[in-house]
Amino acid sequence: MTFKPFLWVLLALLIYNCKEHETYLYKIEGKEISITDSLQSDSKINDFIKPYRNHVTKDLDSVLAYAVDTYSKSDGDFNTAIGNFMADAVYEQANPIFKARTGHDIDLVLLNHGGIRSIISKGNITTRTAFELMPFENSLVVVALKGIQIDSLIMYLSKRKKAHPISKLNLVIDKDYHIVSATIKNKKVDAGKTYYVATNDYLYNGGDNMTFFKPNDSLYNLDYKIRNVLIDYFKKVDTISPVIDDRFIQIK
């Protein structure tokens, strides 16, 4: 197939025209715009979003439960009432789901101290409380680990000197942070057994240097956000009164 002369002329004109109108990005500039009280609000925008804001505020302020005291993640050295509450709530809400899907029970729960972003104040607990406590979009996963990896998990907890929330796991360490005893559901860790550990996707992916989750036998994504776990648990129990207990202690 060959081009006729007028087609060659048309093609040349098109190429020339494209080159004539070529533009190149050679510089990007920006400036900081401070958002302060001096900026005037737009009444039209405010009127438009007002019903949505009122709806969200009403939902966030809806009362779900009651706390008999104020709880903070700084209240304990190795376990805290608020951390115990969160880990136990995860077990309570997630285990039936995992059991129904797999036929297995969750063996232990591990969350992270840094993931607790607020206190729970004495008095009414609202949906807003759950969002303040867990503002992240982290979801629950269950990881199947061999006993040898559980040993790595336990070693991690014994050396970190932080009250990472745990449930169904009991640890005792001495004054030098050596492990005195470690049990899961009141049984010693079996190196050959597969344990199902509930955690969040951030920690599974190595957050807080928790590298012991990989490799693993299998991973189960429960598609259940930690925040929603808390909201569902608050609705179910009506009143919370968690305590600092003996699930992780140091003897001197």
Q: Which amino acid is at 156?
A: Y
pLDDT of amino acid 56? 55
CATH number for the region 75-119+137-224 comes to 3.90.780.10
Q: What is the pLDDT of residue 160?
A: 87
DSSP state of 207: G
C-alpha to C-alpha distance for 67 and 118, rounded to whole angstroms: 14
What is the β-pairing status of strands 139-146 and 248-250? Answer: unpaired
Supply the pLDDT for residue 31. 77
Q: Please answer whether residues 179 and 171 qualify as being in contact, where contact means their C-beta atoms are separated by less than 8 angstroms.
A: yes
Which H or E element spans position 18? Answer: helix 5-20
Q: What is residue 152's three-state secondary structure?
A: helix
Quote the pLDDT of residue 13.
52
Asked if residues 79 and 166 have their Cβ atoms less than 8 Å apart, the reply is yes
Q: Check: CB of residue 226 under 8 Å from CB of residue 94.
A: no
Side-chain-side CA neighbours of 26 within 13 Å: the count stands at 3
Model pLDDT, residue 55: 45
Q: Which two tokens stand for residue 75?
A: 């209240």
Contact 121, 112 (CB under 8 A): no
Query: In this structure, how many other beta carbons lie within 10 angstroms of the beta carbon of residue 193?
Result: 13
**Per-residue pLDDT in tens (0 to 9) along the chain, 252 residues:** 444 555 555 555 555 555 555 555 666 777 776 767 766 777 666 665 555 455 455 578 899 999 999 999 999 999 999 999 999 999 999 999 999 999 999 999 999 999 999 999 999 999 999 999 999 999 999 999 999 999 999 999 999 889 999 999 999 999 999 999 999 999 999 999 999 999 999 999 999 999 999 988 899 999 999 999 999 999 999 999 999 999 999 998
Phi, psi dihedrals of residue 107, rounded to the nearest 5°: -90, -35
What's residue 2's pLDDT? 46
Identify the helix (H) or strand (E) that includes residue 20. helix 5-20
Amino acid code (one letter) for 134: M
